[in-house]
Amino acid sequence: MNAVVALDAVSKNYGPVAALESVSLDLVAGETVALAGHNGAGKTTLMKLALGLARPSSGTIRVFGQDPAGRHGARARRRVGFLPESAAFHGAMTGLELLAFYARLKRARVEPLEELLERVGLDHAANRRVGTYSKGMRQRLALAQALIGEPGLLLLDEPTSGLDPDSRMQVYDTIDRLRAEGSTILISTHALAEIESHADRVALLHRGKLLAAGELQALRRKAALPSRITLVVRPCHTERVLSALTVRAEVRARSEERLVLAVPHADKIAALRDIAGLGEAVTDIEITEPGLEALYHSLTREDGR
């Protein structure tokens, strides 16, 4: 399958700082990949390389088969929509005027702009001055700006940064809709816990290195992190529950009526069978699989950092 974005052993140095170290990563048409990592991991640098705003120190990057910073990069760059980490707009213009301005800059068609505002849930505010928009509305306007010209690739740099939970949800709703329509999207984020359900694959960056890339389920299996089982037990039954377990289980927390266990993924079903056999000694159960944050911690520990 042809990659929309293909990085092959890409390194980028800023003087002594290695912002990216030999990163190889492909993004194929129709998939949403979360580029996840903490501050300074190299996420924005990777986006800048994909936009042709910077060149790799070594290795190659191709966007739609072209070097985006090369002689023929303009054709590829025109097919990319970009949401920068902090977008600033002129407050005196209306949402619609602003999109028309950006459409002219991009030499894109101006007619479907109302439709774009509708897609990001801003049609009701099309003729309001941007200065009266909330931060969440401005971010959705920035997303609409990135969608001008029906780009084949969307690069979203920290799209939910600094937003309250409601606004974050609205941005994710828009991203989910674009994803369902088959857009190709690269989202950079340090909000590891919340990105999980909004991407097909995750690429974990840490201090310029790609720690892992793949579907979350597969990464979880590979990291073999334990599942967390929380049990509510009848008073004074915790010991009985523990002695009934035939699998390795680490007790993470314990009180008279509550047990929190860490159980290896491979032993989870056997543990549940043991617990089911206890009848009414256990009154409630909750199973939590390790999230992206736990995975990231485990991989950075392995990496010795």
Query: What backbone torsions phi and psi does residue 160 show, to the nearest 5 degrees?
Result: -110, 10
- Which sign, positive or negative, has the C-alpha torsion 268, 269, 271, 275? positive
Q: Which 8-state DSSP code applies to residue 267? A: G
DSSP string covering 86-137, please?
S----TTSBHHHHHHHHHHHTT--STTHHHHHHHTT-GGGTTSBGGGS-HHH
What is the C-alpha to C-alpha distance for residues 205 and 153, in angstroms, rounded to an integer?
A: 20
Q: Is-contact 172 32, C-beta < 8 A?
A: no
Nearer to ligand ATP, 39 or 243 (CB): 39
Considering only residues 44 to 63 of the shown chain, the ones binding ligand ATP according to CB under 6 A are 44-45
**C-alpha closest to that of 290 among 213, 198, 193:** 193
Least spacing, CB of residue 154 vs ligand ATP, in Å: 17
Pairing of strands 32-36, 258-263: unpaired
User: Is residue 39 at the binding interface for ligand ATP, with CB under 6 A as the rule?
Assistant: yes
Least spacing, CB of residue 209 vs ligand ATP, in Å: 11
Least spacing, CB of residue 192 vs ligand ATP, in Å: 12
User: Is residue 43 at the binding interface for ligand ATP, with CB under 6 A as the rule?
Assistant: yes
List, edge to edge, every strand of the sheet that includes 282-288: 250-254, 258-263, 227-233, 282-288
Least spacing, CB of residue 17 vs ligand ATP, in Å: 5
Each residue 157-196 as x (binds ligand ATP by CB under 6 A) or -, in order, gives: ---------------------------------x------
**Among 21, 37, 49, 133, interactor with ligand ATP by CB under 6 A:** 37
**Among 6, 42, 83, 102, interactor with ligand ATP by CB under 6 A:** 42
Residues in the chain: 305
Least spacing, CB of residue 141 vs ligand ATP, in Å: 21
Tokens of 107: 């030499």
Nearer to ligand ATP, 53 or 126 (CB): 53
User: Is residue 41 at the binding interface for ligand ATP, with CB under 6 A as the rule?
Assistant: yes
Tokens of 159: 């799209």
User: Is residue 104 at the binding interface for ligand ATP, with CB under 6 A as the rule?
Assistant: no
Segment lying near ligand ATP (by CB under 6 A), choices 43-51, 222-230, 249-257, 269-277: 43-51
Nearer to ligand ATP, 37 or 81 (CB): 37
Pairing of strands 250-254, 258-263: antiparallel
Total chain residues near ligand ATP (CB under 6 A): 12
User: Is residue 87 at the binding interface for ligand ATP, with CB under 6 A as the rule?
Assistant: no
Residues lying near ligand ATP in the complex (CB under 6 A) are found at 14, 17, 19, 37, 39-45, 190
